[in-house]
Amino acid sequence: DPLHKVTIIPSGMALGVTMQLPEEDRHIYRSDYILDRLVVMFGGRIAEELVFGISSTGAADDLMRATALARSMVREWGMSTELGPMAWGSQNQVFLGEDLVQTRDYSDETARVIDEETERILREQQDRCRDTLTEYRHGLDFVARALLEHETISGEEVDRLIAVSRDGSQAGDTASSGPSPDTQSDTDPPPAAGNGSGAPADAPTPAA
């Protein structure tokens, strides 16, 4: 989905929001779309690790949503090659709270495989996110600097900043890791436009 805006203005319990607007209404979700959503959910945590070298509790909600989504892929939507086209657990069980007291229609061995497949999916998409942000690290610094100055920037501005950062890197104007937030250079981004608030990104809602 196209990026609409990014803001670091707190909204509810979130310290910032990345808002995407779907180009069309969706009633079904392809597996590749869901995997891409997981990559997006890891963005904040991986960016924190790349910039500060440490993780914090800031990504707690993202991790919870990513885990629920990956588990739904495995347990409900038949998107695990290891388990095949099978589904365990019903929406009624979850709604009635039965799933929370370990009522289930599969064995301990199947539960173990579900956990392993869920972890595999999450680790693979976390690695994809890390590879992407490492490749675009210079752009990440540009966007971070613009957000510190303006608090909210549009999706178009994010695209422009990343394009400018890549042009500068390819020309050898900056180090491959990009400028630090407090370092100015000839390729510093011009002022970003716009101010406002964001909203949570659209994503499939797992039943469990």
Q: In terms of CATH architecture, what is 3-170?
A: Up-down Bundle (1.20)
Task: Please name the helix (run of DSSP H) or strand (run of DSSP E) that holds residue 20, with its range, or none.
Answer: strand 17-20
Tell me the pLDDT tens digit for each residue of 146-163.
Answer: 999 999 999 899 999 999
Length of the chain: 208
Q: How many CB atoms lie within 10 A of CB 156?
A: 15
CA dist., res. 66 & res. 119, Å (int): 11
Question: What are the boundaries of each domain within the chain?
Answer: 3-170
- The token pair at 132 is 């992407």
Handedness of CA 61, 62, 63, 67 (dihedral sign): positive
Question: What's the pLDDT at 82?
Answer: 92
3-state secondary structure of 16: coil
pTM: 0.72
Q: Residue 136 is encoded by which pair of tokens?
A: 């675009």
Contacts of 30 by beta carbon, 8 Å cutoff, 6+ apart = none
User: What strands, in cross-sheet order, belong to the sheet with 3-7?
Assistant: 17-20, 3-7, 152-154
Query: What is the reported pLDDT for 131?
Result: 98
pLDDT at 4: 85
Residue ranges of the chain whose pLDDT lies below 50: 91-102, 171-201, 208
Q: Which amino acid is at 91?
A: Q
CA distance linking residue 168 with residue 67, whole number of Å: 37
Residue 86: phi, psi to the nearest 5? -130, 155
Q: Are 146 and 157 in contact (CB under 8 A)?
A: yes
**Residue from 156, 140, 138, 160 nearest 148 by CA:** 140
pLDDT value at residue 125: 98
Do 140 and 46 meet the contact criterion of CB atoms below 8 Å apart? no
The single-letter DSSP state of residue 99 is G
